[in-house]
Amino acid sequence: MWVSRISSLGAQAIKKLTQGSLGQAAYTPRSSYFHACACRGVQSSLRPLQMQQYLCTAAATDSGKGENKDKKTYVINVTFVETDGSEKHVEVPVGTNILEAAHSNDIELEGACEGSCACSTCHVIVMDMEYYNRLPDPSDEENDMLDLAFGLTETSRLGCQVEATPDIDGIRLALPVATRNFAVDGYKPKPH
Ligand code: FES
């Protein structure tokens, strides 16, 4: 009788434990991504999908043959040269675009259309041709918008269309002295 009662209680406890662990595996709250994000010093402006990709990449590397790659595998160095000539060095997570990186670091890059390639207010000038050549070619839509940019140069790009990749670690970007805002004149979106 007692043996049977004890084994019945044990079975119930195991069932509850199993359900609990399966339930946890099936649902991982998004906040955990941002917790991991804070631990790794990555800016919380990353969208959840980007963060998942970031963490997947990090996990794959961390588990690979015990070799922890340098932080620069995931974060690249970018220098913004402001209109007064002052420079701001920032670290940008791979996968973030230059407009997002600027807003996350209080750099005055407008981005009136908020990254939908429908204005030219996120115009930046790549200061080194070698780095410019490392970037993927601009799309037709980006070229159309660049044609409207104030002070267009041979190495101009739209910040919202340039993604941080390890190839451009160390890139230097100048902000143009002025922008043309045809969409919503004077509107400056706040960083997300
Ligand atoms: Fe409008 Fe980049 S923010 S084109």
- The segment with the largest mean pLDDT, out of 49-63, 67-81, 127-141, is 127-141
Mean pLDDT of 69-81: 78
Asked whether residue 128 carries a pLDDT value surpassing 50, the answer given is: yes
The answer to whether the pTM exceeds 0.85 is no
For residue 162 and ligand 1, the question of a CB distance below 6 A is answered with: no
Give the pLDDT confidence score for residue 177 in this predicted structure.
Answer: 85
Atom of ligand 1 nearest to the CA of 115: 3
Instruction: Look at residue 98 and give its three-state secondary structure.
Output: helix
Q: What's at 57, amino acid-wise?
A: T
What average pLDDT does the chain have?
A: 72
Residue 96 has pLDDT above 90, yes or no: yes
Model confidence at 68: pLDDT above 50 = no
**Buried/exposed 29-65: b ≥16 CB within 10 Å, e otherwise:** eeeebeeebeeeebbebbeeebbeebbeebeeeeeee
Q: Please give the distance, rounded to the nearest whole angstrom, from the Cα atom of residue 86 to the centre of ligand 1.
A: 23
Give percent of the chain above pLDDT 70.
55
Ligand 1: nearest atom to the Cα of 161: 2
DSSP 114: T
**Residue range 159-179: average pLDDT?**
94
Ligand 1 centroid from CA 97, angstroms:
11
Distance from residue 182's CA to the centre of ligand 1 (Å) = 11
Helix, strand, coil abundance in the chain, percent, nearest 5: 40, 15, 45
- Of 67 and 120, which is predicted with more confidence? 120
- With a 6 Å cutoff on the Cβ, whether 37 touches ligand 1 is no
The rounded Å distance from CA 38 to ligand 1 centre is: 28
Is ligand 1 within 6 A of the CB of residue 117? yes
Closest Cα to residue 124, out of 155, 170, 145, 96?
A: 155
Q: Tokens 């920032």 — which residue? A: 90
